[in-house]
Amino acid sequence: MMLTDLLRDRITVVWLVLIAATIASWLLGIGHGLPATYAGVCIILIAFVKVRFVGRYFMELRDAPAALLGVFEGWVALVTVVLIGLFLLA
């Protein structure tokens, strides 16, 4: 079994997407004349898309029993809404 066989897989694409998303939110954080509120909401949303990817692919929750996957998806949705709500309060 070769390491290259294992890396020639969807999981490597997921990793690349996560790296790209990190760079994208960093650039958004530097700000390019975008309104800070708009950039902030985008940055939080990107973070939770990344969280979902880590849970589904790295923690392998997409293959987990539906109840566990449901708890995870519910947790992500709830925390995203609460944090964006509190951010917009400022």
Partner 1 sequence: MTLRGTVSTDTASDRPALRVRRLPGEEGTWVFLFGDMTVFAILFSVYLYYRAGEADVFTESQMRLNQIFGVVNTLVLLTSSLLVVTAVRVMRRNGSLLARRLIYAAMACGAVFVMNKAIEYGREISDGFVPATNQFFMYFYVMTGLHLLHVLLGMGLLGFMARLVRSGALSPRQRGYLEGGACFWHMVDLLWIVIFPLLYLVK
Instruction: Name the helix (H) or strand (E) containing 43.
Output: helix 36-53
Residues near partner 1 (CB under 8 A) are 1, 3, 6-7, 11-12, 15, 18-19, 22-23, 25-26, 28-31, 36, 39-40, 43-44, 46-48, 50-51, 54-55, 57-61, 63-68, 71, 75, 79, 82-83, 86-87, 89-90
Q: Measured from the CB of residue 33, what is the shortest distance to partner 1 in angstroms?
A: 13
Q: How many Å apart are CA 81 and CA 72, to the nearest integer?
A: 14
- Cβ-contact 53, 14 below 8 angstroms: yes
Taking the complex as a whole, how short is the minimal distance between the CB of residue 63 and partner 1, in angstroms?
A: 6
CA distance 22 to 52: 14
